[in-house]
Structure 1
C-alpha cells in the first residue's frame, strides 16, 4: 500500500509514480519533466531518501494552458531521422551538427545492435531552426573550420550530454555533499580517491551518488558502453571536474562534517619485568644415569613355595654358545658357469648321523653306531623273491 495511508504527517504529498498517472505521463516523460524543471518535487521526509510530489504542484501543472498537450510537447524527444524532418534538413547534416556540439542531446539508449541512439528535445530543435543566424548552417556549404573538425573526428554528443545532465543534477541537489557527489559521478573511482583521500568522505559521496543513466548486468557490453558515455574522457573535461570536486568537497566539509565511528579505548597493556633465564637442567647437560625399570628386592630369601626371585633375573648362557661363538660364513662372489657334479652315493651305505649338541646341556657325546648287517637283514625280509621261494 501507499505510505500516504500510514503516515498522517504527509497528507499533501504523493509518490512520483502516482503523480505521473494523475498527469497522464509515462515514467520516462515524468522523469524528464522533473529534470527540466517542469514539475517540482520535495525530499521524502520519511527517511526513504527519494522524492515526492505535493498535491498543490499537481494542481498547478493541471491549471496550465493547453494541458496536457503543452506539457507533453515540452518533454517530447525525437531521434535523428525525426529531428531532421522536423528541421527540414537531411539526416547527414543533422548528424554533423550534433557531432559539432550545436545540437545537444537530452537522452540516449542502446538498441538491440548495441548502437547508441541519441534523443533530442523537439522544442529545442524548433528553436534552433527558427533563429536567423543558424540559417547558413542548415542550408548551403558547411564552413571550412567546421569541416576540419569533422575530418579530425570530433564528436561532442557524449560530452554535451554529460554537461546537460550535470546541470540538472546540481539544480536538484540541496545538500552540499549531494552537489559534490553529482560531480564525482562523472569521474573514475581513481580520480575521486585522488581528490577525496578520506574513506568516510568517499562513503558519503557514494551515499548521495545519483543513479546511473543506463541499467544493465555488471560487466555486460551494454554496461560498458554506458560507462564510456557517462564518464569524462577528454583531458580538459577531467581537469575541470577534478577542480570542481575539490571545491565542492571543501565547501561540504565547512558546512557539515562526515559521521565517523566512535573511537574505542584500547585496554592498557600490562608489561612484566624481564626475568633472567634459569640455568639448564642437569638431565640435559649431565650424563644419563642407568635406572632399572623394576626395583631390586631387598632380600633374596625364598618364598613360602621355595621360589627365589634371584632365579628369575637372568638365565645362564649355554656352554656351547660360550665355547663356539657363531660366525657368519663367507661366500664367494665369483660365479661359476660349470655345473657341480657330485658322485652318487650307494644305497646300501648309510650316512653316519652328525653329532648334535643340545643347547644348554654341555658338549655332545658320540652315540653307538648301527651295524649295517641289521639293515641288510631287514631288507632281505622285505624282499618279494625271498617270500615267494619260501612258499614254493
Structure 2
C-alpha cells in the first residue's frame, strides 16, 4: 500500500499563467475570458497583488460539453475585414455600424503605423447579424438620422470600449476604494482633483488606480496613445464618470477612512528647514551633531536663512612645534618624479633610445636602418 504522505498535495489555487496552460488557452484568450466573466478569479490571499484561479473553477470548465472548442469560440475576436465577412456585409458598412456604437469592440491594439485596430467578439457579431430588427441596418440604405451622425464625425468605438472595460474593473474591485479607483482610471488628473479635494484620498486613488492595457514600453508613443484612449473625452461621458466617482467616494468614506500620512514633529520640521537653508543632503540628523557642524554648500542660502544654529565649541589646539633646522632629504619617489620631469623637458633627439616609430607620420622604424645609395 503506497504511503499517502509521499503524494504531493494539489494546491487549491493557481496563477493565471498556470490556469491558461491547463485550460489549453493562450494568455490573451484567457485574459479576455476573465474580462468577459467566462472564467471566475479570486483575490490572492497569499499576499500578492494579483488574482488567482481556484481549482474548482478549472474543474468546472474542464467538465463543460465540447471543451475546449466551445470556450475558445466564445472568446474568439475578429477585426473589421473578418467581421464584415462573418456578417455578410461590406467592410465600409461594418465600420459605419461600429462608429455609430451598434457594434461594441472588446479589445484593441496598435499596429506598426500607430493606427488603432479594434477587435470584436465573433459571437456578438453573429448574434447581431441574425437579429430580426437589424435587417434594415445590414441591407439597403442607412437611415437618415444615422447618416447625419456619421456626417457630423461621430465615432463611439473608444467610448464603448471604455464603458465595457469599466464594467470589467468594477467586477474585479474588492472594496469601495477599489471601485472609486476604477472610476478614476478613466478621468484626467484635473477632473479627479475637482471631485476629490483631499490630497490623501487622491494619493490613495492613484495607488489603487488600474493601469491601462499594456501597449509598448512605458513612456513610448504607443503607451501615450493607449493612455489617451483610456481617458474620457466627451462632456456627457465625463459627467457620468464624475458622478460615479463622487458616489463611490461617499461609499468608500462611509466604509473606511483613507490612510493618512503622519505629520512631522516641530523638531523634525526645524531640522528640515535648516538642511534646506544650508543646501546639505536631506538626511536625518545624527545624534550629537548640530546643523552648524556641517559645511555649507550654498553660501547664498546660508546668508538668507532665518534659523541660525549656535556655533560649535572649538577644541583646544595643541602648541605649535618649531620647524626642524635640518635640510629635508628627498625621498626616492620624489627624486624619481624630478628625474622624469627633467627628462621630458629635453629635446626628443637628445633622449637616449629615441625612436621615430611613435610619430603619427611613421608606421615602421626606419631611423636605425642604414641608407642605401
Q: Which TM class, normalised by the smaller chain length?
A: 0.5 to 0.7
Question: Is contact 2:109-2:215 (8 Å) kept?
Answer: no
Is 1:87 the equivalent of 2:109? no
The CA distance in 1 between the partners of 2:9 and 2:233, in whole Å, is 46
1:121-144 CA-partner distances (Å, limit 9, x unpaired): 000000001111000100001001
**Structure-2 residue corresponding to 1:136:** 136
**Structure-1 residue corresponding to 2:147:** 147
Q: TM-score, normalised by structure 2?
A: 0.68
Q: Deviating runs (4+, > 6 A) in structure 1?
A: none
SS for the counterpart of 1:141 is coil
The CA distance in 1 between the partners of 2:255 and 2:42, in whole Å, is 21
Structure 2 gap segments, 5+ residues each: 1-7, 271-373
**Equivalent pairs, count:** 262
1:196 to partner: Cα distance = 1.2
Structure 1 gap segments, 5+ residues each: 1-7, 270-392
**Structure-1 residue corresponding to 2:97:** 97
Q: Which structure has greater helix proportion?
A: 2
Root-mean-square deviation (Å) = 1.9
1:322-341 CA-partner distances (Å, limit 9, x unpaired): xxxxxxxxxxxxxxxxxxxx
Q: TM-score, normalised by structure 1?
A: 0.64
The CA distance in 2 between the partners of 1:218 and 1:200, in whole Å, is 26
**Structure-2 residue corresponding to 1:48:** 48
**Structure-2 residue corresponding to 1:259:** 259
Question: Is contact 2:110-2:215 (8 Å) kept?
Answer: no
SS for the counterpart of 1:210 is coil
Aligned pairs (5 A) from 1:284-303: none
**Structure-1 residue corresponding to 2:110:** 110
Higher radius of gyration, 1 or 2? 1
Is 1:73 the equivalent of 2:73? yes
Aligned pairs (5 A) from 1:275-286: none
1:16 to partner: Cα distance = 0.6
**Structure-2 residue corresponding to 1:183:** 183
SS for the counterpart of 1:101 is coil
SS for the counterpart of 2:117 is strand
1:224 to partner: Cα distance = 2.5
Cα distance change, pair 67–201 in 1 and its aligned pair in 2 (3 A):
same
1:101 to partner: Cα distance = 0.4
Cα distance change, pair 218–59 in 1 and its aligned pair in 2 (3 A):
closer
1:267 to partner: Cα distance = 5.6
Is 1:168 the equivalent of 2:168? yes
**Structure-2 residue corresponding to 1:289:** none
1:256 to partner: Cα distance = 1.1
